[in-house]
């Protein structure tokens, strides 16, 4: 299912888009759909990165405590 959308573009963006669409011989609709799909993917990856950074900071202190406990038990020493 597709949705109809009215869109206003800056003249320079429109001109660049038209040039690329004609060079690539693809429809404007297909080109814009691909561009939005790519941008959505990029934004999802950025959001995931933020979440991973936050989660990493939340477990950092506990991870360091476990590391120090292993270090004190000489588990990292070659025997």
Per-residue pLDDT of 14-36, as tens digits, reads 999 999 999 999 999 999 999 99
Tell me how far apart the alpha carbons of residues 73 and 66 are, in angstroms, rounded to a whole number. Answer: 11
List C-alpha distances in Å: 62 to 55, 65, 72: 12, 5, 15
- 15 lies in some domain: yes
Reply yes or no on whether the pLDDT at 75 is more than 70. Answer: no
Mean pLDDT of the chain: 90
Domain count, the chain: 1
Residue 53 lies in a domain: yes
Q: Which domain holds residue 68?
A: 11-72
Name the percent of the chain lying above pLDDT 70: 94
In-domain check, residue 6: no
The pTM of the whole model exceeds 0.85: no
In sequence order, which residues have a C-beta less than 8 Å from that of residue 28 and are 6 or more positions away?
17, 18, 21
């Amino acid at each position: 299912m597709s949705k109809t959308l009215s869109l206003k573009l800056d003249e320079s963006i429109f001109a660049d888009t038209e040039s690329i669409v004609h060079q690539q011989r693809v429809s404007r609709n297909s080109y814009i759909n691909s561009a939005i799909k790519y941008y959505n993917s990029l934004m999802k990856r950025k959001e995931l990165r933020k979440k991973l950074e936050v989660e990493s900071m939340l477990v950092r202190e506990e991870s360091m405590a476990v590391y120090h406990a292993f270090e004190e038990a000489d588990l990292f020493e070659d025997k």
